[in-house]
Amino acid sequence: MNSPHTLFEHALADAARLAEESLDALLPKVTGPEAPVLEAMRYAALGGGKRLRAFLVIQSGSLFGVDRRSLGRVAAAVECVHAYSLVHDDLPAMDDDDLRRGKPTVHKAFDEATAILAGDALLTHAFALIGSPEAHGDPFVRCELVTRLAQASGHAGMVGGQMMDMAFEGKAPSLAEITRMQRMKTAALLNFSCEAGAILGKASQPMRNALQAYGQELGLAFQIADDLLDAEGDAGETGKAVGKDAERGKTTVVSVLGAERARMQAKALAEQAVRHLDLFDRKADFLRAAAGFVIERRA
């Protein structure tokens, strides 16, 4: 008999497979003198990662019976945005990382110019994917996805959060400032991933709000777990350099509260996330299980 844990892992692996297949089909084929940027797009977006954002799109959408083709396409778009943000954040002028999931980062495997352009192209491609009729038959739904994705990823979301993260280096931001930064930098796209399923499924406003709130808390819990891995993790297991936050003088929830209280905080956020799912039945069990997953993961 399968344990709930194993079932969750199956669902996560299934989401990863759908995301990977969709990305492979929807990313441009490598050809012509512009080949390096096309190859770098594929290098950045394919072949790895937990695909947590794809999982959230797929599971949220499944609550409302959204068809798999729409889900695959929107999951691919969200993963394109995630991949773009990693490529740009890893650049020498930003976090200057050489290693990502155990592989050289894009500017190391290619060069800086190609990495900048591949990030730009992945971001742009995400909007092409969700704006197209194949994402959903109703153009109103597609427009909702476009504007909400733009808000989550732009100056009021991921980009603004990354700017704040850099501005805080060597400073001593308050816990409230760190939380606002993480809401923008990390939680916004997880939040959108959950909301996207609701938008695709034309969910009622209360259900849409609940999924957004779930995504928000999940995102904050996820980020604390990430900071704990950086503070205590193993480079071999995580596939990226560790101890970088301390090295850069980054203030995190972990450095402010200490590991033990940070871990309790992550747990409390994960529990809060799950409570937002109270108005859904057993179909939301995989989303409930995801809250445990994000705070217990080892990589």
Using the contact rule CB under 8 A, the part of the chain among 47-55, 143-151, 188-196, 216-224 near its own copies is 143-151
Helix 188-200 / helix 139-153 crossing angle, nearest 10 deg: 170
Of 21, 24, 67, 112, the residue at the interface with its own copies (CB under 8 A) is 112
36 contributes a contact to its own copies by CB under 8 A: yes
Of 25, 167, 279, 299, the residue at the interface with its own copies (CB under 8 A) is 167
Nearest-angstrom CA–CA distance, 214 and 178: 19
Amino acid at 176: A
Using the contact rule CB under 8 A, the part of the chain among 86-94, 194-202, 208-216, 286-294 near its own copies is 86-94
**Six-digit token string for 117:** 């352009």
Closest CA to 287 of 15, 3, 66, 1: 15
173 contributes a contact to its own copies by CB under 8 A: yes
How far is C-alpha 293 from the geometric centre of its chain's CA atoms? 14
Sign of the CA dihedral with 90 first, then 256, 232, and 214 last: negative
249 contributes a contact to its own copies by CB under 8 A: no
151 contributes a contact to its own copies by CB under 8 A: yes
Q: Are 16 and 51 in contact (CB under 8 A)?
A: yes
132 contributes a contact to its own copies by CB under 8 A: yes
139 contributes a contact to its own copies by CB under 8 A: yes
Q: How far is the CB of 232 from its own copies (least distance, A)?
A: 27
Report which DSSP code applies to 100. E
Residue 39 burial class via C-beta count within 10 angstroms: exposed 0-12, middle 13-18, buried 19 and up:
middle
Length of the chain: 299
Of 99, 101, 104, 127, the residue at the interface with its own copies (CB under 8 A) is 127
Of 46, 99, 109, 146, the residue at the interface with its own copies (CB under 8 A) is 146
Of 18, 121, 221, 269, the residue at the interface with its own copies (CB under 8 A) is 121
Residue 3 burial class via C-beta count within 10 angstroms: exposed 0-12, middle 13-18, buried 19 and up:
exposed
204 contributes a contact to its own copies by CB under 8 A: no
Q: Which residues are at the interface with its own copies (CB under 8 A)?
A: 28, 32-34, 36-38, 41, 84, 88, 91, 93-94, 111-114, 116-117, 119-121, 123-125, 127-128, 131-133, 138-140, 142-143, 146-147, 149-151, 153-156, 159-164, 166-168, 173, 177, 181, 184
